[in-house]
Amino acid sequence: DAVLVAAFRGITMELDKDSHIQVAPIVICALCVPLFAIQFALAIFLCLDMELDTKIHGGDADDDMEIATQLLLVIIVQLSFFHQIMENLRNLFFLLNPITWTYIDHLESQDWISWGTFVLTTAPFALAAIFVKFVMLYWVSTLSSSIILACPDVKDAIFNCLVISYIVELGKDMWRFSCDSFSLQFQVPDRGLYVRRAKIWRCPLAPGLRLRWRAR
Protein backbone atom coordinates (compact mmCIF):
# COMPACT_ATOMS: atom_id res chain seq x y z
CA ASP A 1 0.00 0.00 0.00
CA ALA A 2 2.85 2.37 0.76
CA VAL A 3 4.31 1.75 -2.71
CA LEU A 4 0.98 2.80 -4.21
CA VAL A 5 1.00 6.01 -2.20
CA ALA A 6 4.61 6.68 -3.22
CA ALA A 7 3.64 6.24 -6.88
CA PHE A 8 1.31 9.24 -6.44
CA ARG A 9 4.07 11.28 -4.72
CA GLY A 10 2.49 10.86 -1.32
CA ILE A 11 5.51 9.78 0.78
CA THR A 12 8.28 12.14 1.81
CA MET A 13 11.46 11.83 3.83
CA GLU A 14 12.29 14.52 6.35
CA LEU A 15 15.87 15.73 5.94
CA ASP A 16 15.71 18.46 8.54
CA LYS A 17 13.09 20.68 10.12
CA ASP A 18 12.17 22.60 6.96
CA SER A 19 13.16 20.34 4.09
CA HIS A 20 11.58 17.18 2.69
CA ILE A 21 12.20 15.06 -0.38
CA GLN A 22 9.78 12.79 -2.19
CA VAL A 23 10.52 9.08 -1.91
CA ALA A 24 10.47 7.09 -5.15
CA PRO A 25 8.31 3.93 -5.30
CA ILE A 26 11.38 1.79 -6.01
CA VAL A 27 12.75 2.65 -2.55
CA ILE A 28 9.57 1.54 -0.78
CA CYS A 29 9.39 -1.51 -3.05
CA ALA A 30 12.91 -2.47 -1.96
CA LEU A 31 11.75 -2.39 1.66
CA CYS A 32 9.01 -4.90 0.72
CA VAL A 33 11.56 -7.55 -0.29
CA PRO A 34 12.65 -8.49 3.27
CA LEU A 35 9.01 -8.30 4.37
CA PHE A 36 7.99 -10.82 1.72
CA ALA A 37 10.93 -13.07 2.63
CA ILE A 38 9.99 -13.05 6.34
CA GLN A 39 6.31 -13.74 5.66
CA PHE A 40 7.16 -16.54 3.24
CA ALA A 41 9.60 -18.12 5.71
CA LEU A 42 7.11 -17.99 8.60
CA ALA A 43 4.40 -19.60 6.48
CA ILE A 44 6.80 -22.36 5.39
CA PHE A 45 7.79 -23.01 9.01
CA LEU A 46 4.12 -23.42 9.94
CA CYS A 47 3.66 -25.92 7.11
CA LEU A 48 6.74 -27.91 8.13
CA ASP A 49 5.47 -28.02 11.72
CA MET A 50 2.27 -29.82 10.74
CA GLU A 51 1.98 -33.36 12.09
CA LEU A 52 0.57 -35.32 9.18
CA ASP A 53 0.81 -38.68 10.93
CA THR A 54 -1.54 -37.84 13.80
CA LYS A 55 -4.70 -39.84 14.32
CA ILE A 56 -7.95 -38.90 12.63
CA HIS A 57 -10.59 -37.41 14.90
CA GLY A 58 -12.88 -40.07 16.31
CA GLY A 59 -16.56 -39.90 17.03
CA ASP A 60 -16.51 -39.28 20.78
CA ALA A 61 -17.68 -36.06 22.40
CA ASP A 62 -14.19 -34.63 23.01
CA ASP A 63 -13.14 -35.09 19.40
CA ASP A 64 -16.37 -33.53 18.16
CA MET A 65 -15.81 -30.50 20.39
CA GLU A 66 -12.22 -30.22 19.21
CA ILE A 67 -13.07 -30.32 15.51
CA ALA A 68 -15.93 -27.84 16.05
CA THR A 69 -13.54 -25.42 17.77
CA GLN A 70 -11.01 -25.79 14.98
CA LEU A 71 -13.65 -25.13 12.33
CA LEU A 72 -14.73 -22.02 14.23
CA LEU A 73 -11.13 -20.81 14.27
CA VAL A 74 -10.88 -21.45 10.52
CA ILE A 75 -13.99 -19.31 9.91
CA ILE A 76 -12.63 -16.48 12.09
CA VAL A 77 -9.28 -16.50 10.29
CA GLN A 78 -10.91 -16.55 6.86
CA LEU A 79 -13.13 -13.60 7.79
CA SER A 80 -10.05 -11.59 8.76
CA PHE A 81 -8.39 -12.52 5.47
CA PHE A 82 -11.47 -11.50 3.49
CA HIS A 83 -11.14 -7.86 4.55
CA GLN A 84 -7.42 -7.81 3.75
CA ILE A 85 -7.85 -9.40 0.32
CA MET A 86 -10.77 -7.15 -0.66
CA GLU A 87 -8.81 -4.09 0.42
CA ASN A 88 -5.85 -5.20 -1.67
CA LEU A 89 -8.05 -5.85 -4.73
CA ARG A 90 -9.61 -2.41 -4.31
CA ASN A 91 -6.15 -0.85 -4.43
CA LEU A 92 -5.28 -2.96 -7.47
CA PHE A 93 -8.34 -1.84 -9.43
CA PHE A 94 -7.68 1.74 -8.36
CA LEU A 95 -4.19 1.49 -9.79
CA LEU A 96 -5.18 -0.30 -13.01
CA ASN A 97 -7.90 2.22 -13.84
CA PRO A 98 -6.34 4.60 -16.40
CA ILE A 99 -8.76 7.35 -15.40
CA THR A 100 -7.18 7.35 -11.95
CA TRP A 101 -3.87 8.67 -13.23
CA THR A 102 -5.45 11.46 -15.27
CA TYR A 103 -7.71 12.53 -12.37
CA ILE A 104 -4.80 12.73 -9.97
CA ASP A 105 -2.88 15.05 -12.31
CA HIS A 106 -4.87 17.38 -14.55
CA LEU A 107 -2.69 17.73 -17.62
CA GLU A 108 -2.17 20.26 -20.32
CA SER A 109 -1.50 19.11 -23.87
CA GLN A 110 2.26 19.69 -23.57
CA ASP A 111 2.53 17.62 -20.38
CA TRP A 112 1.46 14.25 -21.79
CA ILE A 113 5.00 13.09 -22.63
CA SER A 114 6.37 13.80 -19.15
CA TRP A 115 3.21 12.34 -17.60
CA GLY A 116 3.55 9.12 -19.62
CA THR A 117 7.18 8.78 -18.57
CA PHE A 118 6.20 9.27 -14.93
CA VAL A 119 3.49 6.58 -15.09
CA LEU A 120 5.72 4.06 -16.88
CA THR A 121 8.48 4.48 -14.29
CA THR A 122 6.30 4.35 -11.17
CA ALA A 123 3.30 2.13 -11.91
CA PRO A 124 5.25 -1.16 -12.33
CA PHE A 125 6.64 -0.97 -8.80
CA ALA A 126 3.21 -0.32 -7.31
CA LEU A 127 1.70 -3.15 -9.36
CA ALA A 128 4.45 -5.54 -8.30
CA ALA A 129 4.05 -4.72 -4.61
CA ILE A 130 0.26 -5.07 -4.67
CA PHE A 131 0.44 -8.31 -6.66
CA VAL A 132 2.98 -9.84 -4.27
CA LYS A 133 0.83 -8.83 -1.30
CA PHE A 134 -2.22 -10.45 -2.90
CA VAL A 135 -0.29 -13.67 -3.59
CA MET A 136 0.96 -13.80 0.00
CA LEU A 137 -2.50 -13.15 1.46
CA TYR A 138 -4.15 -15.75 -0.74
CA TRP A 139 -1.45 -18.33 -0.12
CA VAL A 140 -1.49 -17.94 3.66
CA SER A 141 -5.31 -17.93 3.57
CA THR A 142 -5.41 -21.28 1.78
CA LEU A 143 -2.75 -22.76 4.06
CA SER A 144 -4.39 -21.58 7.27
CA SER A 145 -7.23 -24.10 7.08
CA SER A 146 -4.85 -27.06 6.77
CA ILE A 147 -2.56 -25.70 9.48
CA ILE A 148 -5.40 -25.26 11.97
CA LEU A 149 -7.11 -28.59 11.22
CA ALA A 150 -3.80 -30.46 11.48
CA CYS A 151 -3.21 -29.27 15.05
CA PRO A 152 -3.36 -32.09 17.60
CA ASP A 153 -5.30 -30.03 20.14
CA VAL A 154 -7.17 -26.75 20.50
CA LYS A 155 -4.27 -25.03 22.28
CA ASP A 156 -1.96 -25.50 19.29
CA ALA A 157 -4.74 -24.40 16.94
CA ILE A 158 -5.19 -21.12 18.84
CA PHE A 159 -1.44 -20.54 18.88
CA ASN A 160 -1.20 -21.12 15.12
CA CYS A 161 -4.09 -18.69 14.59
CA LEU A 162 -2.11 -16.04 16.45
CA VAL A 163 0.95 -16.74 14.30
CA ILE A 164 -1.12 -16.52 11.11
CA SER A 165 -2.59 -13.19 12.23
CA TYR A 166 0.92 -11.93 13.00
CA ILE A 167 2.11 -12.89 9.51
CA VAL A 168 -0.74 -10.90 7.96
CA GLU A 169 -0.18 -7.83 10.16
CA LEU A 170 3.60 -7.87 9.77
CA GLY A 171 3.42 -5.34 6.93
CA LYS A 172 2.04 -2.61 9.19
CA ASP A 173 4.78 -3.22 11.77
CA MET A 174 7.37 -3.11 8.99
CA TRP A 175 5.97 0.22 7.81
CA ARG A 176 6.07 1.73 11.33
CA PHE A 177 9.68 0.58 11.67
CA SER A 178 10.58 2.17 8.31
CA CYS A 179 8.88 5.45 9.26
CA ASP A 180 10.77 5.65 12.55
CA SER A 181 14.10 4.62 11.01
CA PHE A 182 14.07 6.74 7.84
CA SER A 183 11.75 9.62 8.89
CA LEU A 184 9.13 8.71 6.30
CA GLN A 185 5.67 10.26 6.39
CA PHE A 186 2.56 10.61 4.28
CA GLN A 187 2.32 14.05 2.75
CA VAL A 188 -0.01 14.69 -0.17
CA PRO A 189 1.27 17.61 -2.28
CA ASP A 190 -1.13 20.51 -2.74
CA ARG A 191 -0.81 20.71 -6.49
CA GLY A 192 -2.41 18.29 -8.87
CA LEU A 193 -4.34 16.09 -6.45
CA TYR A 194 -7.87 16.65 -7.68
CA VAL A 195 -10.53 13.94 -7.63
CA ARG A 196 -14.20 14.24 -8.50
CA ARG A 197 -15.39 12.54 -5.35
CA ALA A 198 -14.52 13.59 -1.83
CA LYS A 199 -13.60 10.03 -0.89
CA ILE A 200 -12.51 8.00 -3.90
CA TRP A 201 -9.66 6.20 -2.15
CA ARG A 202 -8.27 5.82 1.36
CA CYS A 203 -4.90 4.37 2.22
CA PRO A 204 -5.12 1.47 4.72
CA LEU A 205 -1.81 2.49 6.33
CA ALA A 206 -3.02 6.06 6.89
CA PRO A 207 -6.82 6.23 7.29
CA GLY A 208 -6.70 10.02 7.34
CA LEU A 209 -5.07 10.22 3.91
CA ARG A 210 -7.70 10.88 1.21
CA LEU A 211 -7.61 12.31 -2.27
CA ARG A 212 -10.02 15.23 -2.54
CA TRP A 213 -11.62 17.13 -5.40
CA ARG A 214 -11.23 20.86 -5.87
CA ALA A 215 -13.03 22.45 -8.81
CA ARG A 216 -11.02 24.54 -11.23
Question: In the prediction, which pLDDT does 111 show?
Answer: 63
Question: In the prediction, which pLDDT does 104 show?
Answer: 65
Question: In the prediction, which pLDDT does 46 show?
Answer: 79
pLDDT less than 70: residues of the chain: 49-62, 101-116, 187-216
Question: In the prediction, which pLDDT does 55 show?
Answer: 61
Question: In the prediction, which pLDDT does 123 show?
Answer: 83
SS3 16: strand
pTM of the model: 0.71
Q: 39-44: which pairs have CB atoms within 8 A and are 24 or more residues apart? A: 39/136, 39/140, 39/167, 39/170, 39/171, 40/136, 42/163, 42/166, 42/167, 42/170, 43/136, 43/139, 43/140, 43/143, 43/167
Question: In the prediction, which pLDDT does 206 show?
Answer: 47
Question: In the prediction, which pLDDT does 39 show?
Answer: 87
What is the spatial distance between Cα 164 and Cα 72, in angstroms, rounded to a whole number? 15
Question: In the prediction, which pLDDT does 203 show?
Answer: 52
Question: In the prediction, which pLDDT does 22 show?
Answer: 78
pLDDT in tens, 84-101: 899 889 888 888 887 776
Q: What are the backbone dihedrals phi and psi of residue 12, each rounded to the nearest 5 degrees, phi first?
A: -125, 160
Question: In the prediction, which pLDDT does 110 show?
Answer: 53
Question: In the prediction, which pLDDT does 173 show?
Answer: 85
What is the spatial distance between Cα 50 and Cα 200, in angstroms, rounded to a whole number? 43
pLDDT in tens, 52-78: 566 656 566 667 788 888 889 989 988
Question: In the prediction, which pLDDT does 198 show?
Answer: 37
What sign does the dihedral 7-9-11-16 (CA atoms) show?
Answer: positive
